[in-house]
Amino acid sequence: FFFLMMRSTTVNSLLISKVAFFSVLLLHVNLIVLCLHPIICGSVQSSGIDHSGTKMYSFSDYQTSILTPTTVGDSQVKFCPFKAVNSLITLTTLRLLSYKSLFVPKRVSASASARVTVSLMRKSSPVSLQRLHSQLVDSNVEVDAEAAQKEKKALKDKKRKAAAEALEVVVIGLSHHNAKVEVREKLAIPEEKWSEASNQLCEQYDSIAEAAVLSTCNRFELYLSGQNQYECMRAAMDFLYERAGGTLDQVTLRRNLFMLTGEDAIWHLLKVSAGLDSLIVGEGQILAQVKRCYERGTAKDGRAGKVVSRLLNTAVTAGKRVRAETGIAKGAVSISSAAAEFTQMTLQRDCNIVTGIQDARVAIIGAGKMARLLLVHLHTQGLNKVVIVNRSKDKMAELQAEFPDMTIEFQLMDQLWEVIRESDVVYPSTSATTTIIDPEPLRACLASRSGPGGVQFVDISVPRNVHPDCGTVSGAFCYNVDDLKLVVERNTAKRRKEMIEAEHILREELGK
Q: What is the mean pLDDT of each run of 10 residues along the chain (512 residues)?
A: 45 54 66 59 42 40 43 45 57 51 41 43 46 56 69 67 74 92 91 94 94 93 94 94 89 93 95 90 88 95 93 95 87 79 90 89 92 90 93 86 90 94 94 92 91 89 93 94 81 82 91 80
How far apart CA 397 and CA 203 sit, in angstroms, is: 44
Active-site residue among 217, 232, 445, 470?
Answer: 217
pLDDT of residue 70: 43
CA distances from 181 to 212, 240, 411, 434, 481 (A): 22, 16, 29, 14, 8
How far apart CA 385 and CA 397 sit, in angstroms, is: 16
Identify any residues that bridge with 408 across adjacent strands, giving them in sequence order: 386
CA distances from 291 to 223, 288, 443 (A): 13, 5, 42
Within 8 A by CB and 6+ apart from 453, the residues are 350, 351, 352, 353, 424
How far apart CA 440 and CA 407 sit, in angstroms, is: 32
pLDDT of residue 14: 52
How far apart CA 340 and CA 363 sit, in angstroms, is: 12
Residue 248: what residue type? L
The dihedrals phi and psi of 496, each to the nearest 5 degrees, come to: -60, -45
pLDDT of residue 45: 41
How long, in residues, is the chain? 512
pLDDT of residue 22: 64
Question: Are the CB atoms for 221 and 214 separated by under 8 Å?
Answer: yes
How far apart CA 229 and CA 167 sit, in angstroms, is: 9
pLDDT of residue 157: 67
SS (H, E, C) 62-117: HHHHCCCCCCCCCCCCCCCHHHHHHHHHHHHHHHHHCHHHHHCCHHHHHHHHHHHH
How far apart CA 130 and CA 137 sit, in angstroms, is: 11
pLDDT tens-place string over residues 131-143: 655 655 555 556 5
CA distances from 183 to 244, 292, 455 (A): 9, 24, 26
How far apart CA 71 and CA 48 sit, in angstroms, is: 11
pLDDT of residue 282: 84
Burial degree of 487 (CB within 10 A; 0-12, 13-18, 19+): buried
pLDDT of residue 433: 86
Kindly give the residue spans of alpha helices, DSSP state H, lying in 165-303.
Answer: 181-184, 194-204, 229-244, 250-256, 262-274, 285-297
Q: What's the pTM value of the predicted model, to 2 decimals?
A: 0.58
To the query of whether residue 351 is one of the catalytic residues in this protein, the response is no
Burial degree of 165 (CB within 10 A; 0-12, 13-18, 19+): exposed
